[in-house]
Amino acid sequence: MIEFRNVTLAYGRNVVLKDVSFMCQFHEKIAVLGGSGGGKTTILKLMLGLIKPDSGQILVDGQDITVMSESELRDIRMKFSIVFQEGALFDSMNVKENVAFSLREYTKSSEEEIDKRVRDLLKILKIEKAIDLMPEELSGGMQRRVAIARSLAGCEPKMMLYDEATTGLDPLTADNICNLINELSKGEPPGRVGFIIVTHKVTDAAKVAERYIFIRNGNIIFDGNIDELKKTEDATLKKFINELYVVDGYA
């Protein structure tokens, strides 16, 4: 279980999160929504211990990660896999080396084993032909797929974290990525691999998530399911989900 307890964080004078508290299970399918610069990605980084809050606690399986050292955080981070916006692939490495990165760093696998694992993953993600390409030769959608393959290569995560996984992609590619996200999190709780997707595209969130958290000005102003979201009386939220009505044909 993951729990944020009264977490506050500011970058200089800009307060990104104000006294934020929420709880979730590893198997949940959560979308964190909000405007740009609203602190959505910050939540993912806090969850992995990549940044520390100014105050408050973040508990992962009952352990407060805000007081942990880098080496102690390693075990916590093994429970997650993250896919950053635009993939964050290493530009000096080709697709195979990018995907094999964690296998080479973490494990003592032989080159044959690494090669097999990389090819298997690329096949699952339908990008096996891109194995020798460099990141700059890949389209946006392919970069996200390679990033997902890399995040899955070295460990078996309990939860996937997607940072703007569909941003900047055309609707068809975004749809493919959403299908892939659903595919990777299939099954029934509590055994399934859950995810938190951070996005400002509510239509994409609706294709994958079961729970929605909306952040505005550093506060959580909504936490619930899609039906509750559609019934909201909040003006900003209504504007945000208008897009959803158009797609659903409600407008």
Residue 64 Cβ, how far from another protein at the closest point, in Å? 19
- Closest to another protein by CB, 4 vs 84, is 84
65 DSSP 8-state letter: G
Q: Is 27 in the site for another protein (CB under 8 A)?
A: no
Place of tokens 């900003």: 236
The answer to whether the beta carbons of residues 31 and 209 sit under 8 Å apart is: yes
Tell which one of 37, 55, 74, 126 touches another protein (CB under 8 A).
74
Q: Which of 85, 107, 173, 236 binds another protein (CB under 8 A)?
A: 85
CB 21, CB 6: distance < 8 Å? yes
Please, what sign has the CA dihedral across residues 204, 205, 206, 209?
Answer: positive
Single out the residue of 86, 115, 128, 243 in contact with another protein (rule: CB under 8 A).
Answer: 86
d(CA 194, CA 184): 9
Considering only residues 89-148, where is the footprint of another protein by CB under 8 A?
Answer: 89-90, 101-102, 105-106
Element (H, E) at 80: strand 80-83
Q: What is the DSSP letter of 66?
A: G
Judged by CB under 8 A, which stretch of 59-67, 86-94, 195-203, 223-231 contacts another protein?
Answer: 86-94
Whichever of 14 and 139 has its CB closer to another protein, that residue is: 14
Q: Which stretch binds another protein (CB under 8 A): 57-65, 82-90, 122-130, 195-203?
A: 82-90
- Between the two ends of the chain, the Cα-to-Cα distance in Å is 38
3-class DSSP assignment, residue 195: strand
250 is a site residue for another protein (CB under 8 A): no
Residues engaged in binding another protein (CB under 8 A): 11, 45, 48, 50, 70, 74, 77-78, 80, 82, 84-86, 88-90, 101-102, 105-106, 150, 154, 163
